[in-house]
Amino acid sequence: DAGVIQSPRHEVTEMGQEVTLRCKPISGHNSLFWYRQTMMRGLELLIYFNNNVPIDDSGMPEDRFSAKMPNASFSTLKIQPSEPRDSAVYFCASTLNADTQYFGPGTRLTVL
Amino acid sequence: TQLLEQSPQFLSIQEGENLTVYCNSSSVFSSLQWYRQEPGEGPVLLVTVVTGGEVKKLKRLTFQFGDARKDSSLHITAAQPGDTGLYLCAGVYNFNKFYFGSGTKLNVKP
């Protein structure tokens, strides 16, 4: 299996622009997690889905952030409008029955 | 404020030395996991501990879960340069919600 796939690997954008991060989980996994990692706050859980349904989005910082999972093989995290404080590495992870989480390589986002 | 506090934050040691990393919380978890993350990559799971007082060994790494399931430690014996990385503990609530500690950045010098 190719593992969790994230795209793009790097994104540089200007403040106010819309950013869309993409994730393809491991085939057969039924839960998907979006995390954000910064030096100041470490690794924070933003939202997780179980069987494509959002279960807990209490970690989403504000309304500018939204996440979707239209099917079992694809999820997006969107930031609109983006701000410099959103700069971070965003990870997607998938798991079967919330056991071992397999993380993707991350998307490094820089908002100027 | 982090739910899980890890110490030390940074550790730089010589090859062959032993070290211990701590993960502490005031909360009780259903389980606790340890991950290692290398630069430019996502964290990789090392171990999951479930039972209070449980000890698990993975070659030179020994993991212990506190009796009250609020804290954990990771001990590395005879560290090697290949052990270099960011070590993260994660407390698991209700088997499906994960809270990560702030991490311990380990550098093992040859």
Torsion of CA B53, B38, A61, A23, to 10 degrees: -110
Helix (H), strand (E) at residue B45: strand B44-49
In angstroms, the Cα distances linking A105 to A11, A64, B76, B97 are 14, 24, 26, 21
Tokens 């090392």 label which residue? B46
Residue A99 has pLDDT above 80, yes or no: no
Count, residues in chain B: 110
Q: How many CB pairs under 8 A join A and B?
A: 49
- The answer to whether B25 and B15 are in contact (CB under 8 A) is no
Q: Tell me the two tokens of residue A80.
A: 């609109």
Consecutive H or E run containing B21: strand B19-24
Does A34 contact chain B (CB < 8 Å)?
Answer: no
Distances from the Cα of A69 to the Cα of A1, A23, B4, angstroms: 21, 9, 29
Neighbours of B78 (CB within 10 A): 10
CB A34 within 8 A of CB A67: yes
Give the pLDDT score at A100: 85
Amino acid at B40: G
> How does strand B55-58 pair with strand B61-65?
antiparallel
Q: What is the rounded CA–CA span in Å between residue A32 and residue A47?
A: 8
pLDDT digits (tens, 9 = 90+) for B73-96: 999 999 999 999 999 999 988 767
B 30-59 → A contacts, CB under 8 A: 33, 40-45, 48
Q: How far is CA B77 from the centre of its chain?
A: 14
pLDDT at B3: 81
A104 pLDDT more than 90? yes
Q: Can you tell me the mean pLDDT for B22-41?
A: 92
Q: What is the pLDDT of residue B2?
A: 65
Q: Does A45 lie at the interface with B, CB-CB under 8 angstroms?
A: yes
Task: Read off the pLDDT of each residue in A12-35 and give the average, rounded to a whole number.
Answer: 96
B105 to chain A: which residues are within 8 Å by CB? Answer: none
Are A17 and A81 contacting, i.e. CB atoms less than 8 angstroms apart? yes
Asked if A44's CB is within 8 angstroms of B98's CB, the reply is no
The whole-chain average pLDDT of chain A stands at 94
Residue A102 predicted with pLDDT over 70:
yes
- Residue B81's DSSP bridge partners are none
The residue-averaged pLDDT of A71-94 equals 96
Q: Look at residue A1 in the predicted model and tell me its pLDDT.
A: 62
With 90 as the cut, is the pLDDT of residue A36 above it? yes
Among candidate residues A45, A102, A48, the one with its CA nearest the CA of residue B3: A45
Q: How confident is the model at residue B1 (pLDDT cuts 50, 70, 90)?
A: low
Cα–Cα distance between B106 and B81 in angstroms, integer?
A: 10
